[in-house]
Amino acid sequence: MNSQKSNNFRSFGLGISTSLAAILLSLIIASLILLISGSNPLQAYWDLIERGVRIDIIFNILNRAMPLYVSAIAVAIGFRMNLFNIGVEGQYAIAAIIAAQVGAKVGVDLPGFLGILNGPIHILIILLTAMAVGAAWAGIAGVLKVTSGIHEVISTIMLNAISGSFLIALLLKEWKLDDEDIFQTATIPKSGRLPALAKVTEPGTAVLSSFLIIALIVGVAYWIYVYKTRPGFDLRASGMNPLAAQASGVSPVKTILIAMLLSGAIAGLVGMPELLGPAGKPYYHDSFVGMLGFNGIAVALLGQNHPGGIALSALFISFIDTTSIVLDANDSTPKEIIDIMIGIIIFVMVIAFGYSKKIREANEAKQSALVLAKNGSSPPT
C-alpha cells in the first residue's frame, strides 16, 4: 500500500515536472522569437503578468475561458472513444442561431409569485434548445458512421461547411429583420439573459458571466460520467480497445451514437456565453464569435482530456490571449508573435506529455518486473 502511495506521488510529480519543463522550454523558445522580432522578452512577460493580475482582466480571462472549456469538454467526450469530433465549430454555430431565434420568440410569463421563475425557465429553454440542436447536428455524423461507416472527421467537416451556409441562408432570408442592412436574429428579451456573477469598475470595468456556473456543472458532470459511471467506463473501454469492449458487452453502435450526441449537446452550449452573457449581444449576428470549436480541440489535447487539465489549459490559453493585447498596445510586439507562441507552447507540451507517458509506462513495467523477481518467478521470454 505504501509503495502504491509513493508510486502515485511519483507519477503526480512526473506530471507536474513535465508541465513545468514544457512551459519553461516554450518560454525559452518564445523569448528567442521575441528577441528576434526586436522586443525585450522580460519586459513582455512582465507586462503580461502585470496585466494578468488585475481583477477586471481576471474576469475577462475567465469569461474567455468558459466557452473554450465547454468546447474542449465536447471534443474530449469524442476523444474518449477515439471519435474525433471536428464539428464542434458547426454544432455550436447552428445551435446558437436556433437557440437565439427560439429565445427571442418564446416568452415565459407565469402568474403571480411564480413570476420569479420566468427568467430561469426562459434561460433553461434556450440552453436546452441549444443542446438539442447541437446533439442533433452531431448525431447526423454519428448515424452516418454507424450506418455507412463514414468517418466522423469527413462528415463533421462537411457538416461544418453546411451549417455555415445554412446560417447565412437563415440570416439572409428566413429570420431576417425588417431593417434591410442588419443581418441578425430578433433580440432575446431581458428575462432570457444570464445575470452577472460579479461586477467591478476599478481599475477597469468588467463583469463576470454567470455562465461560469454552467461551465463548472459541465466539467463536473463530464468527470462523473467518464470516471464514475458504467456507461462512461464503456465509453473509455471502447476508446482503449474496441474489440475487447465489444466482447465485454459494449455495443459499438450505441456507444458511438451516445458519444456523438453527448459531444454535440455540450458543443451546443459553446455559443451561449456570447448569446446570453452579460457582455455579449442578445441575438445571433453575422459576426458571431468563431473558431471556438477548433480552439477547443487544442485545449482538449493540451488538457489530456481530463476535466481539471482542460480547465488549466483553457485558463492558460485565455490568459495569453487576453493579456497579449497589452503587448500590441505597449510597444512593438505584434499580436501575431503571441499566436506563434501559443502554437509553440501547445507543440512543446504535447511532445512533453508523450515523453512523460513513456517514462511512466517504463516505470510501471520495471515495478512489475521487480515484484516478479522478488517472488522468485521466472523471467519473461
Partner 1 sequence: MSTTNSGTEAVRLTDITKTFPGIVANDKINLTINTGEIHSICGENGAGKSVLMKILYGIHSPDSGEIHINGKRVDFHSPKDAIAHGIGMVHQHFMLADNLTVLENIILGSEPYHIPYININFSKAKREIGELNESYGLNIDLDRTIDTLSIGQLQRVEIIKALYRGAKILILDEPTACLVPQEVDELFNNIREMDAKGDTIIFIDHKLDEVLEISERITVLRGGKTVATVEKENTDTKQLAELMIGSSLPTPQGVPETVTNQAALKVQNLHVKGDRGEEAVRGVDFHINKGEIVGIAGVEGNGQIELIQCLLGIRNAEQGSIEMLEHNKGVVNGSTENNEEQTKLINITSTPVSDRRISGLGYIPSDRFKLGILPQAPLWENAMLGHQRQQPYSRSGFWITKRQSIQQTEKIIDEFDVRTPSSQVAIHALSGGNQQKLVIGREMVMNLSVLLAAHPTRGIDVGAQAAVWDQLRVAKSKGLAILLISADLDELLGLSDRLLVILRGNITADLDPDTITARDLGIHMTGAEGELSKV
Closest approach of partner 1 to the CB of residue 221, in Å: 14
Select from 170-178, 269-277, 290-298, 373-381 the region that touches partner 1 (CB under 8 A). 373-381
Cβ(264)–Cβ(278) under 8 Å?
A: no
The Cα-based distances of 117 to 13, 26, 113 in angstroms read 48, 49, 8
- Under rule CB under 8 A, residue 241 binds partner 1: yes
Cα–Cα distance between 69 and 67 in angstroms, integer? Answer: 5
Q: How far is 200 from 342, CA to CA, in rounded Å?
A: 29
3 binds partner 1 (CB under 8 A): yes
Query: Which of 126, 245, 311, 349 forms a contact with partner 1 (CB under 8 A)?
Result: 245
Strands 206-209 and 196-200, by their bridges, are antiparallel
Give the CA angle between residues 368, 228, 133 to the nearest 5°.
Answer: 130
165 binds partner 1 (CB under 8 A): no
* Contact flag: residue 287 with partner 1 (CB under 8 A): no
Q: How far is CA 272 from CA 63, 73, 134, 210, 268, in A?
A: 12, 15, 12, 11, 8
Q: How far is Cα of residue 102 from the mean position of the Cα atoms in its chain?
A: 25
The reply to whether 371 sits near partner 1 by the rule CB under 8 A is yes
Rounded to a whole number of angstroms, the minimum distance from the CB of residue 364 to partner 1 is 4
**Coil, helix or strand at residue 184:** strand
Under rule CB under 8 A, residue 366 binds partner 1 = yes
Cβ burial of 29 (10 Å; 0-12, 13-18, 19+) is: middle
Q: Which of residues 204-233 bind partner 1 (CB under 8 A)?
A: 227-233
Q: Does 2 bind partner 1 (CB under 8 A)?
A: no
330 counts as binding partner 1 under rule CB under 8 A: no
C-beta of 46: minimal distance to partner 1 in Å? 42
- Does 173 help bind partner 1 (rule: CB under 8 A)? no
Quick one: 84 or 227, whose CB is closer to partner 1?
227
Q: Of 22-30, 64-72, 109-117, 240-248, which segment contacts partner 1 by CB under 8 A?
A: 240-248
What is the 3 state secondary structure string of 102-155? Answer: HHHHCCCCCCHHHHHHHHHHHHHHHHHHHHHHHHHHHHHHHHHHHHHCCCHHHH
Residue 160, phi then psi, degrees to nearest 5? -60, -45
State the number of binding residues for partner 1 (CB under 8 A): 43
Rule CB under 8 A: is residue 149 a binding residue for partner 1? no
| Least distance to partner 1, CB of residue 7, Å | 7
Please state the closest distance from residue 250 (CB atom) to partner 1, in A: 7
Contact with partner 1 (CB under 8 A) among 65, 251, 328, 358: 251
Closest to partner 1 by CB, 49 or 365: 365
- Per CB under 8 A, the list member of 240, 291, 329, 351 interacting with partner 1 is 240
Type of residue at 350 = V
**Binding of partner 1 by 243 (CB under 8 A):** yes
Measured from the CB atom, is 190 or 228 closer to partner 1? 228
Asked whether the beta carbons of 90 and 164 are under 8 A apart, the reply is yes
On whether the CB atoms of residues 186 and 177 are closer than 8 A, the answer is yes
Closer to partner 1 at the Cβ: 187 or 251? Answer: 251
- Residue in the block written with cell 469598475: 201
Give the whole-angstrom CA distance, residue 362 versus residue 27.
Answer: 28
Note the residues at the interface with partner 1 (CB under 8 A): 1, 3-4, 7-8, 227-234, 236-237, 240-241, 243-251, 361, 364-373, 375, 377-381
